Chain A
Amino acid sequence: MDFLFYMGDVFTPINFGLLLLGTIGGLILGATPGLSPTMAVALLIPFTFQLEPQQGLILLGAAYTSTVAGGAVSAILLKIPGAPANIATTLDGHTMATKGEGAKALQLSFLASAVGGIFGVFLLIFLTPVLAQWALAFGPSHLFWLAILGVTVIGTLDSSSVVKGLLAGCIGLWLATIGFDDIMGAQRFIFHPSISGGINVIPALIGLFAIPQVITMFTKGRSSDDAEIISVKRHPIRLAFVEVLRRKTALFIGTITGSIIGLIPGVGGQIAGLVAYDQSKKFSRESEKFGTGHSEGVIAAESANNAMVGPSLVPLLTLSIPGSPTAAVLLGGLLIHGIFPGPDLFMNYPQVAWTFIDSMLIGQILMCIFGLYIAGLAARVARVPHAVMAAVVLGLAVFGSYSVQNSMGDVYVMASLGVGMYFLERFGFSAAPLVLGLILGPIAEANFIQGSMIANATVGMGSYFFTGWLNWLLILIVLASVSYSIWMEIAQRRYTTKDDAVAKEEAMS
């Protein structure tokens, strides 16, 4: 029950103020189409430099939680999901809003988000120490395979092409090798003086997530988003509570589905919301009402996409393997404060770890309270013209990446990677495996070299890296994720024409 011991730290004036700031800011950012939770958290990192580690993490954690929930506002009132995680919410949420039940849909979405989110954080609280204890037994070969597992799982599950997903992971791993070699001190792949010290993760993350969005906004030209905000009529919150409790099957399915999906590295909130929506429809007595403005659709989708937030941090905090791009960005936030997550995080930095987790728990409640009150304001912010949004994001990206080390080199790296990533995305490559490769590359290399040294002095490379049940298990998961994705890709192609695939992909982008 360590989490109760540190609960008081969340309520110190500065910590609680940052939690409020992150929650309210996250709700507004989340409601803005084009600002994904990952990008919002990446842009916030420079603002945490001068804060204590736990304060910085509280801000980032609150922003992560509430951007996911805030995306429901524009999904319901504008029919534009604030983030991919809110796609399923538009199906019934917007229909409810057009029927004059916008306030009810928003209340249901925030209440369901809070229930799902709190369950997810409890899962994080109870699973993390157990896994961390277990992870203490990991040696260099296991950590090497874990890093490879992190890249391959995200590379294969997060991308529409297995080969391109793995290739993006390789690009990330290679980028991580640029700079000085830790063992021999040799310089590697220095093509320009600005990368002589290697690629700093924070500017890279900002560039990879923010700049492609900026360029995408440029491609819209001078067109205006003519989405109309649907006005909301008052709806008693008491009735929304009763409705959520009455739809407990949808709430249960959403929460459990989201929590399980959150634990699987690489499978994001978008999938959690859609799977929960689909399963709730299957188990509902009123399945024919789904898609016509049914409250169960909103409850299932929103409880799922917030329930995945907590569990998605379990691999990060226990094994230092970020399970999602946003977790990767949070890892960047930890690293700049000199904190390396892993099995010993709870022994070395219990206050940082538990205060952060506790703040996510309190953040869920704050998100629910403030979400209900500022939904209208958030929807108005969501209509900020994309010309202004693009310029604001670019300005923040440039200032944010410069402020990491007061270096123009970081700004060049940010812009180069960002522009490159935009073009890669247009050709079917995804940013997530590249980011994971960049972050996990040093872990993979350090453990590979350390493992090689141990292997050469003892049993040899083959025996060291390819024997033992834990190595086998990890290799098996790597192979299974690759095989499953290849099989899914082949099965999908068999039933989908190329034109359908192109249309689907354009709709998604």
Chain B
Amino acid sequence: MRSLPRSQHIIASGLIAAVGVTIAYISYTQEPAGAYVFPRLISSVFAVLAIWTFVKAVLGRTKVGNGISGEAMLRMAPGLVVTLVYVFWAAKALGFYTATTIAFFILVSLYDPAPHSQLKTWAKRVAITAGFMLVMYGLFAQLLNVFTPREILF
């Protein structure tokens, strides 16, 4: 079993340590001090543990966590990009239902093991997407009366 490069652990724990130190700094410098009593307590422990983890990673003594292999990263990247675009842009800009339909269809098509060359495969993907969206519309718009952003489409 191949263990992943130490650099991944150093970067990850370094980022967490940076967050910990920043929070501790903010907690000890912001006013009113009374509002930061509890955050000071938490952030001090946070920073100490985060620095400890970082030092262990630098020394190569990290025992748990397999990191992410390049292969897994490549497989995950398209789905992650679609997810982030869907959540942070499309859902608001295009409308909730339109964005969800597009994102759902793209994700199913991206990761479906069935061959892309067959028309039947595409018809199945369209049918699954349509079925899911009908259920979502029925549940959220009709049953729960959730008014989602409609924006330029629906």
Chain A residues within CB distance 8 Å of chain B: 46-47, 49-50, 160-161, 163-164, 166-167, 170-171, 173-174, 177, 181, 183-184, 186, 188-189, 214-215, 217-224, 385-388, 390-392, 394-396, 398-399, 402-403, 406, 408, 411-412, 415, 419, 423, 426-429, 441, 444-445, 448-449, 452, 493, 498-499, 501-503, 505-506, 509
Contacts and interface: CB of A to CB of B under 8 A. Distances in A.
B34 to A, nearest CB: 5
Contacts of A387: 107-108, 110-113
B72 to A, nearest CB: 4
A503 B8 CA distance: 18
Contact of B113 (A173, A214, A222, A441): A222
**Residue among B83, B100, B128, B132 with the most chain A CB within 10 A?**
B83
A426 B66 contact: yes
A217 B107 CA distance: 11
Given A395-B132, A399-B146, A509-B66, A174 B46 contact: yes
B79 A390 contact: yes
Nearest to A397: B87
Contacts of B128: 388
**Residue among B3, B8, B13, B66 with the most chain A CB within 10 A?**
B66
25 contacts: A46-B144, A163-B52, A163-B53, A174-B46, A188-B39, A189-B23, A221-B75, A222-B113, A223-B113, A390-B111, A391-B108, A402-B96, A403-B140, A408-B91, A411-B87, A419-B83, A423-B68, A426-B65, A426-B66, A427-B8, A428-B65, A429-B65, A444-B38, A448-B38, A505-B65
Given A170-B45, A387-B108, A426-B67, A394 B34 contact: no
A406 B107 contact: no
- How many residues of B sit at the interface, in one of the four size bands? 35 or more
B134 interface: no
Contact of B50 (A167, A224, A452): A167
Nearest to A446: B38
B130 interface: no
A391 B107 contact: yes
* SS class, residues of chain B in contact with chain A: helix
Nearest to B56: A163
Given A184-B34, A448-B41, A427 B100 contact: no
A186 B30 CA distance: 10
Contacts of A427: 8-9, 12-13, 65, 67
Contacts of A224: 113
Nearest to A181: B35
Contact of A408 (B23, B41, B92): B92
Contact of A188 (B13, B35, B64): B35
